[in-house]
Amino acid sequence: MKKILITLLVWANLFGAGQVGDKAVGFDLPNLYNLDKKISLNEYKGKVVLVNLWASWCGGCQEEMPIFVELQKEFKGSDFHILLSTIDKEPKNAVAFLQSVDRERVLKSVYDSEKILPKAYRCIGMPSSYLVDKSGTIVEVYVGSIDEKHVGKLKAKIKSLLGE
């Protein structure tokens, strides 16, 4: 009976959500704007990163994207970066949407055609954002879109992680 319980616990842990405290899963995926080049999470080692899983067909993702553009502009020159990862079937749809809200290309996005990241991060809702600290540990998980009400708390958290 003990063995059965242990097996069940292990399986529940494997498929469960909630990853605060876990190490962020590394990736090396094509740049959405230039599919021949790749962007790796390792490039952001020692920096605070907000990994955001999004898609152009997702309403919540469309709502929060202008907020991310403003957020990245606000932290320009700092060690905070927003790294998007789109799971669109057609990358051109993602590019078209992103360009409509981010003409200056402030945000960087990878193209995850195989939906590797949602599976690795055990995504339970779209959009999902994962705030990763300088040591590469997930410190906050945001399921659903980040709106104007919550962005204040997010900014405070980013500043504390940056040591400002």
Partner 1 sequence: MVKYILIGSLLFLTACSDKLVRVMPYEKEYFAQDKMSLSPIAERAEQEGHVYLIREASAGGESAFQGGCGCR
Q: Which of 57, 63, 151, 162 contacts partner 1 by CB under 8 A?
A: 57
Query: In degrees, to the nearest 5, what angle opens at C-alpha 155 toward C-alphas 149 and 157?
Result: 110
Give Rg (Cα) of the chain: 16
The one segment of 28-36, 44-52, 86-94, 145-153 that binds partner 1 by CB under 8 A: 86-94
Residues 40 and 108: beta-carbon distance below 8 Å: no
Which residue's CB is nearer to partner 1, number 15 or number 149?
Answer: 15
Residues 121 and 23: beta-carbon distance below 8 Å: no
What whole-number distance in Å separates Cα of residue 85 and Cα of residue 118?
A: 9
| Sole residue written with tokens 């952001």 | 44
Q: Which of 32, 41, 48, 53 contacts partner 1 by CB under 8 A?
A: 53
Give the 3-state secondary structure percentages of the chain, helix then strand then coil, rounded to 5.
40, 25, 35
Which residue's CB is nearer to partner 1, number 4 or number 148?
Answer: 4
Does 87 participate in binding partner 1 (rule CB under 8 A)?
yes
Q: Which of 23, 45, 73, 89 contacts partner 1 by CB under 8 A?
A: 89
- Closest approach, Cβ 135 to partner 1, in A, equals 27
Instruction: Say which residues have a Cβ less than 8 Å from residue 2's Cβ, sequence separation at least 6.
Output: none
Does 14 participate in binding partner 1 (rule CB under 8 A)?
no
Which residue's CB is nearer to partner 1, number 61 or number 161?
Answer: 61
The one segment of 18-26, 83-91, 96-104, 133-141 that binds partner 1 by CB under 8 A: 83-91
Q: Which residues bind partner 1 (CB under 8 A)?
A: 4, 8, 53, 55, 57-59, 87-89, 115, 118, 123-126
